[in-house]
Amino acid sequence: MTTESCTETPRCRLWVENCRRADLEEKTPDQLNKHYRLCAKHFEPAMICKTSPYRTVLRDTAIPTIFDLTSHLSNPHSRHRKRIKVLTDEEVRKIKERRLESSIEQLLSKKDCDAQDDSEKADDIPQLTPEQKDLREFLRSSFEVMVLIGRQNFPFSCNAREDEMCSKEEERLLTTGSFQALIENRINAGDEFLRRRFEAAAVNEEYCSAIQQRQLLEVCERCVREEILQQVREYRFFSIITGELVEFPEGEHLPIFLRFVDQANTLREEFIEFLSFEGEEVTVAKRLETRLTKGWGLSMEHCRGQAHAGSGIIGTKMKVIAAQLKEKYPMAVITPTSTCALNVHLANGMPLTGVQDVMSILKKTNAFFKASPLLQSELDNAVSILCQGNIEKENILKEDSRSTWTDLHNVFEMAVDLMEPLLLCMDSIHDNEDLKWNGQITSDAYAIAEALADFEFIVTLVILKNALSFTRAFGKNLQGETIDVFFAANSLTAVLHSLHEVSDNLEVYHEFWFEEAVSLATAMEIPVKVPRLFLRKQQAVETMEIQAESFFKEYLTLPVMEYITQEVKDIFSENHLKALKCLSLVPAVMGQMRFNTSEETHADIYRSDLPHPDTLPAELHCWRIKWKHRGKEVSLPCTIHKTLQHSDVKFFPNVNAFLKILATLPVLKLDGNHGETAQRRLQAYLTDTAVHQRCKNLAVLNINYHIKTDLEEMIECYLKTYSEESESD
């Protein structure tokens, strides 16, 4: 194997000297390059870059140093070898001197070039005036304070609420705000620059106007968001996730999250912004699309999934928005989120008043017991009283009741089993015979007890439990491991068959479900009756009397079954199912299927997104063979994340790209080191911050506290955006 020749005159001379070829000393570098080659064995391994088995490239500083200058003496065929000049000690000394001089010349030449480049760069940088330097230093300190306020969730301003009366002096003190206080703290701590800047200022003078503070906040938010968006743009493909509406002083806003795979092949879900929710569905959908494209520089053509939260009217509105986006961008498939149980997602979206009342009461009841360990202990006592003799059921109910109910796949089964203990517990708290509870707690307990003791609530809960029992195992698998999600995608046909079976025999199923509700109501001493509101409407139109069983079949069971069946079909569309079935690309799933998988059947869904779609069938075959014939010590990666972290995946560019796109689907759970998601950080912010103290800009900083901040970038962004205002100030 030979290497390339050297064409640089100084280094070429060293090559010839090291080779000790007297016949080549008079040759020019061009002649040597054209007619002579050196074997790679004459170079240190560190000097050689092998780009392929057939190509060897030398580093720019490579010099041959490995020569056997004695073996020819004992070799009888040495007369046919290259002529090697035997050097004297004086010649060796001169060669070393020339090498040293050449190295020094190269070093000095490089320093001169670097110095020249630095001077040219320095000439390109405009010289700043003292005023401009002061402004930049002040902005740096201001941004440090703003980032601290956001990450620590300090109130931006301690404004009094509208219903609180205060004097002018008290109002001045209240509106001083965190920014002013932290600047003063820095001055008191010895910040010489800020002390000099404001030493002549009046005692009550603001260091930074309210308008400037708002501008600083907007720049902080913009830079943090841009840091995330740059990574999204690098990968291109993403999914949109929206959360429950968030209340701010200026109105309700929709939290927007993006899910993507970063450069480290790690799946991430990051909070981006709060979007105004004012207007009709078409207006909000257009606003969201415009923000994604024009505002954030993303292409909706690269959106591969969308998941939206919301219940009742809001949930219905979000469904319309999602449908409009999917109609315009068919590849943006609608999925449930990985953080919400499928049955809870289905119930939240039902446009039925009775169902929404059940969901609301369950959330209030769950929050009621989480407010105090003493309240939870009271519920445990009620469970123990009513589950005497059934220790297993007692332990399960106590454990489930301590969790967040809406995270449970069996929430409706648990709620039915808890109905009697719940009502007993609420009545006991409301009676307050031991005077343990304050007035607010007893009042809340009474309101919850009244809601629980309504037959409409009981029958709705029982029907939800039974109707959603057919999707419970399916939904649980969707939130399971990758192999569980794959099998769930392949079991959808059976789920739909069961739902159709119920719909076709609704009369029989409803009779059993209604009988169960009546038995529970009887045990709780609750009368079976038609809702009062319906009776009042019935009297107005003077129609014939309707029986409770017939009423709830027509107005509850039938629409519930129709909604569940249609919603499951809509969520798990053809494209969505094809994508989930391609999870067989994960080696552990392949192994479970004994490597008898057929990804080619479903892989067409993302063919246009792949780097080399023409070679996909051959690459998939090689991918299967690789894992099928792996060594015994090699384990099969069981998730997309672990597969993408495998060193060999880069040799399968289509599979690599395919897995990254699959990972962005919101239905798949986050893995790796992302136990704490952006949605949990959002909930923590909302829990810790009162509505009148919430600030959208600061919320972005607080939720994204893990994103690095570049103060110099913030300064440049501020000066570029608000240069005129800064100069006038």
Q: Which alpha helices (DSSP H) does 468-582 contain, by range?
A: 469-478, 482-490, 492-504, 506-523, 532-541, 548-552, 558-571, 574-581
Alpha-carbon distance of 255 to 277, in angstroms, equals: 10
Same domain, 641 and 683: no
Helix, strand, coil percentages, rounded to 5, for the chain:
65, 5, 30
Same domain, 339 and 301: yes
Query: What pLDDT, on the 0 to 100 scale, is given for residue 597?
Result: 73
* Mean pLDDT within 36-41: 72
What is the domain extent for residue 24? 9-58
Residues forming a β-bridge with 259: 239, 269
- Model confidence at 167, pLDDT cuts 50, 70, 90, reads very low
DSSP count for the chain of H helices, then E strands:
33, 8
Query: What pLDDT, on the 0 to 100 scale, is given for residue 445?
Result: 92
Same domain, 606 and 535: no
Q: Could you tell me if residue 714 is inside a domain?
A: no
CA 530 vs CA 412, 533, 581: distances in Å: 22, 9, 46
- Model confidence at 726, pLDDT cuts 50, 70, 90, reads very low
Last residue within a domain, chosen from 538, 572, 606: 572
Query: What pLDDT, on the 0 to 100 scale, is given for residue 361?
Result: 93
Alpha-carbon distance of 599 to 486, in angstroms, equals: 12
Alpha-carbon distance of 407 to 424, in angstroms, equals: 24
517-530 pLDDT per residue, tens? 999 999 999 998 88
> 553, 482 in Cβ contact below 8 A?
no
- Model confidence at 275, pLDDT cuts 50, 70, 90, reads very high
226-254 pLDDT per residue, tens? 999 999 998 889 999 999 999 998 889 99
Same domain, 428 and 553: yes
Between 495 and 201, the more confident residue is 495
- Model confidence at 596, pLDDT cuts 50, 70, 90, reads confident
Alpha-carbon distance of 25 to 16, in angstroms, equals: 7
Q: Could you tell me if residue 712 is inside a domain?
A: no
Between 185 and 273, the more confident residue is 273
Q: Which of 483-497, 550-564, 627-641 has the lowest mean pLDDT?
A: 627-641
Sign of the Cα torsion 170, 176, 177, 182 reads: negative
Res 81 pLDDT > 50: no
Between 702 and 130, the more confident residue is 702
Last residue within a domain, chosen from 512, 545, 572: 572
251-265 pLDDT per residue, tens? 899 999 999 998 888
Q: Could you tell me if residue 169 is inside a domain?
A: no
* Mean pLDDT within 78-91: 56
Query: What pLDDT, on the 0 to 100 scale, is given for residue 676?
Result: 58
Structure tokens at 179: 């920014």
- Model confidence at 205, pLDDT cuts 50, 70, 90, reads low
* Mean pLDDT within 179-207: 71
Between 81 and 398, the more confident residue is 398
Same domain, 366 and 469: yes
The pTM is what?
A: 0.75
Q: Which of 288-292, 593-597, 696-700 has the lowest mean pLDDT?
A: 593-597
Same domain, 557 and 599: no
Any idea what the CATH number is for the domain that residue 270 is in?
3.30.420
Between 631 and 368, the more confident residue is 368
Between 658 and 103, the more confident residue is 658
Query: What pLDDT, on the 0 to 100 scale, is given for residue 117?
Result: 63
Q: Could you tell me if residue 451 is inside a domain?
A: yes
Q: Which stretch, 24-38, 93-107, 115-129, 577-591, has highest mean pLDDT?
A: 577-591
Res 15 pLDDT > 90: no
Alpha-carbon distance of 230 to 545, in angstroms, equals: 65
> 267, 640 in Cβ contact below 8 A?
yes
Alpha-carbon distance of 572 to 494, in angstroms, equals: 13
Quote the number of domains for the chain: 4
Same domain, 311 and 355: no
Res 201 pLDDT > 80: no
Q: Could you tell me if residue 688 is inside a domain?
A: yes
Q: Could you tell me if residue 283 is inside a domain?
A: yes
Sign of the Cα torsion 669, 671, 675, 676 reads: negative
Same domain, 480 and 367: yes
464-501 pLDDT per residue, tens? 999 999 999 999 999 889 999 999 999 999 999 999 99
Same domain, 416 and 309: no
Listed in sequence order, the residues at least 6 apart from 85 whose beta carbon sits closer than 8 Å to its beta carbon are: 20, 21, 22
661-673 pLDDT per residue, tens? 999 999 998 875 4
* Mean pLDDT within 568-586: 91
Res 674 pLDDT > 60: no
Q: Could you tell me if residue 173 is inside a domain?
A: no
Sign of the Cα torsion 327, 328, 333, 335 reads: negative
Between 402 and 46, the more confident residue is 402
Same domain, 330 and 439: no
What would the DSSP string read from start to end of 311-348?
-HHHHHHHHHHHHHHHHH-TTSEE---TTS-HHHHHHH
Q: Could you tell me if residue 175 is inside a domain?
A: no
Res 164 pLDDT > 80: no
Same domain, 644 and 693: no
Last residue within a domain, chosen from 542, 572, 602: 572
Same domain, 426 and 549: yes
